[in-house]
Structure 1
């Protein structure tokens, strides 16, 4: 009889330990907050922000297409409305890569002295910003049809010291053209989104003044484990945040509150397989979403045509 009681106590102790471990895992992956958000979305489906992109309505139309001719890991993505094409970067063999909207490789531009190039963002015609993740540098570059290489040492740069460096630094960029704000995502430890005014500096007749803002309350409300990429939607003023580890894209309204999401898990939004490692997201003027995943996979999402 004593052995039975001892076994029961052991089983109860193991069950309690398992519950504690499950709770810790759920907390680490922000599962409780994510489940609460999904429940609210379901309950308030008819009360969404009228400006919301409604990311849950998107369906994949190009899935896990291998970018032919590209072997290096891709990181980040931006849409160029003037060229009607996309740009990404590779950081092992540092290059700026131009892609078609179908994920075809159009051009390679060699990057010299850019360190760990991790993100690229379109600013205006021919003007971009590229990040050096480890050294927390933002580098202004200009390209045209004939550009085949870029040298960082002759470009306008902004070096920032915002928390620890290493490979958890500047991971994503987004630009608000109307507000002239550059959003910079720090991957994690801590996960942050900074808002930079005054860079890139485009008017030589004006003083070079940079202001860096952040919103810790907003960042604390992001129920994702990391930040891989950002995208600003000029029409709504909303910001999209891509998380590789959470396999999720969040839409943040103008107050920084999550209002819709796009799951990158198998079986969701038409995906037959989960996106392995989402690293870059971009949106064109038609609202079509483009995504790249390491090592060299291309995705395109759009909303089904309304009947």
Structure 2
């Protein structure tokens, strides 16, 4: 009797552990990620030729504290005109300029913002900032010596995409060829929307905005959340950053994941895992930059 009860208990325990493993695999998208890694390994030669090929990147600067900022760095974009990086903080709301070595260059006070979470370079002196909780996009024009920017009177667009508190707009990217602003919704569920008609319109023209979705592409994103986006105009590929998945994903023109960069310790030369990845940017020479809360700076270079 005791042996029978023990056998039953072991079987029940094994079944319970298997069920937990399956549920965890679904929750953390482990099955899709494992399948992607397998296919990417077999097709690496073909994929390397037509992509940025993130597996080839290695950390050149890692976990460098940005001096002059306490914490709360969020988002990252590359200013092509001045060859610098631009970020935002939300407490206090400010725009932050960084050198390509992660040195603080300038801060600009942001007035009229409640929770600036993402920023994207559009053209010389022109940016878009996403206010997360309000789901609001604000067009920002900056002079080289500006110290304050006030959102009052600036062109703005309010979005009502799956409002659920602090899980709103989390990343921005810009496709200059189609003049499409790509907007990431963080989670529940993860989504990437295309916005056309907000930028480059005549001041007197009526606002005619088109919101685009790609449900199939979003379903392929085996990521638990979205932290940041960046668009590579040369390849037409999108970079998608996930803090919870500890992963940077490259997505091709057809919306298919094609390569990835793990943010875990021991991968790509990282001595420690990236604690909370919040922003990614690619410069015009193919160098990758990453920031993590509280105020950590990373630079990855292709081999």
Structure 1 residue ranges, 4+ long, deviating more than 3 angstroms after superposition:
none
Segments of 5+ residues of structure 2 without an aligned counterpart are: none
Take 2:225 and 2:197, find their aligned partners in 1: how far apart are those partners?
A: 26
Map of 1:29 onto structure 2 = 28
Task: Quote how far apart the aligned CAs of 1:205 are.
Answer: 5.6
Task: Kindly indicate whether the alpha-carbon contact (under 8 Å) linking 1:49 and 1:259 is maintained by their aligned counterparts in 2.
Answer: no
Q: Secondary structure at the match of 1:153?
A: coil
CA distance in 1, matches of 2:3, 2:163: 54
- For residue 119 of structure 1, report the CA deviation from its aligned partner: 0.3
The equivalences for 1:124-163 within 5 A come to 124-163=123-162
Equivalent residue, structure 2, for 1:274? 273
Q: Name the residue aligned to 1:8.
A: 7
Aligned pairs, number: 303
Check conservation: 2:179, 2:199, Cα contact below 8 A: no
Contact 1:109 1:148 in 2 (8 A): yes
Q: CA deviation at 1:203?
A: 2.7
Using the TM superposition, give the Cα deviation of residue 12 of structure 1 relative to its aligned residue in structure 2, in angstroms.
1.1
CA distance in 1 between counterparts of 2:204 and 2:251 reads 35
State the partner residue of 1:209: 208
Unpaired segments ≥5 residues, structure 1: none
**Alpha-carbon offset, residue 164 of structure 1:** 1.8
Aligned equivalents of 1:129, 1:101: Cα separation in 2: 21
Asked if the contact 1:75–1:118 (Cα under 8 Å) also holds between the matched residues in 2, the reply is: yes
Indicate the SS of the match to 1:250: strand
Deviations 1:75-127 (A, max 9, x none): 10000011110011111211100000000000010111111100000000000
TM-score with structure 2 setting the length: 0.98
Partner of 1:303: 302
Query: TM-score normalised to the size of structure 1?
Result: 0.97
Q: State the Cα deviation string for residues 157-191 of structure 1 (Å, max 9, x = none).
A: 00011112311100000001121110000000111
SS in structure 1 at match of 2:49: coil
* Equivalent residue number for residue 227 of structure 1: 226
Query: Hey, what's the Cα distance between the residues in 2 that align with 1:288 and 1:104?
Result: 16
SS at structure 1 position matched to 2:167: coil
Supply the distance in 2 between the matched residues of 1:54 and 1:31 (Cα, whole angstroms): 21
The Cα offsets for residues 6-42 of structure 1, whole Å up to 9 and x where unpaired, read as 0111111011101100111111110010000000011
